[in-house]
Amino acid sequence: MGLSRFISFRLTLVLFALLLPLSALAQEWHPELTEQWEPVPAIVEPGTGTSAPSDAIVLFDGSNLDAWESVRGGNAGWVVAEGAMTVSAGVGDIRTRQQFRDVQLHIEWRTPAKVEGDGQGRGNSGVFFHEVYEVQVLDSYDNTTYPNGQAASVYKQHIPLVNASRGPGVWQVYDIVFSSPVFAGDGDLVRPAFVTVFHNGVLVQNHVEVKGDTAYIGLPEYIPHGAGSIKLQDHGNPTSYRNVWVREL
């Protein structure tokens, strides 16, 4: 055997040695090996635009405020008419009687058709998780204010990615995924809250970290809590809500 033939023979052997285990490995893999059959997702009948999915808790279907109470105590005193509930200025914030942790919330809202005020004074309300983390509700259609306080902002923490506002007097939609903060037994923050917001179907907050309560004055801070209510804000403007439902996650 000449030298070059010997080298070529050795190379062939090496190649075989390398490829044999690979082909063996390929033969061991079957499609079934990466199929996961458990758990089987529960069946949910999706909503039809105005109706909630079958596993949702309906918080407001247009008929009454039974799921709500005043934060001052007693029944929620907002006005229910024509399938909507409307802030009754001065009556105060309302909150869900039921308490939640991680949720998917669907809520439709409408700022007054008659434009009054400007900046933060135009159709201001808000959706608060645990009563302290606000996704801002505001008439932000052709209305200048600080962007971390405009509609769909996480108030004074996160500017929305875009302004997807409809005009005053037109119904708008928030679909929100809220992951509650986790606190240790001694109150230390283990994991902050996160929130994702779609405004009229447009992604405006993409899993942003909530830095603490959405304070009007000062910096956010976390105060330990468990499950909590979802609160809607009376900011003195007659903003309306309808078709409110939540899914516990």
Candidates 61-69, 81-89, 124-132, 184-192 — which segment interacts with Mg ion by CB under 5 A? Answer: 124-132
What φ, ψ does residue 15 adopt, rounded to 5°? Answer: -60, -45
160 binds Mg ion (CB under 5 A): no
Candidates 50-58, 108-116, 119-127, 170-178 — which segment interacts with Mg ion by CB under 5 A? Answer: 119-127
Q: What token pair was written down for 74? A: 């007693």
**Closest separation in Å from C-beta 128 to Mg ion:** 9
Candidates 35-43, 71-79, 123-131, 212-220 — which segment interacts with Mg ion by CB under 5 A? Answer: 123-131
Considering only residues 52, 65, 106, 126, which one is a binding residue for Mg ion as defined by CB under 5 A? 126
The answer to whether 89 and 117 are in contact (CB under 8 A) is: no
238 binds Mg ion (CB under 5 A): no
Task: Please say whether the dihedral angle defined by the alpha carbons of residues 113, 117, 118 and 123, taken in this order, is positive or negative.
Answer: negative
**Closest separation in Å from C-beta 80 to Mg ion:** 21
Comparing CA positions, the residue from 137, 131, 66 lying closest to residue 95 is: 131
Task: Give the CB-nearest residue to Mg ion.
Answer: 126
Contacts of 115 (CB under 8 A, 6+ apart): 122, 139, 168
Q: Would you give the distance in Å from CA 130 to the centre of its chain?
A: 13
DSSP-assigned letter for residue 31: G
How many amino acids of this chain bind Mg ion (CB under 5 A)?
A: 3
Nearer Cβ to Mg ion, position 52 or 125? Answer: 125
168 binds Mg ion (CB under 5 A): no
DSSP-assigned letter for residue 168: T
**Closest separation in Å from C-beta 121 to Mg ion:** 11
Q: Which residues bind Mg ion (CB under 5 A)?
A: 124, 126, 233
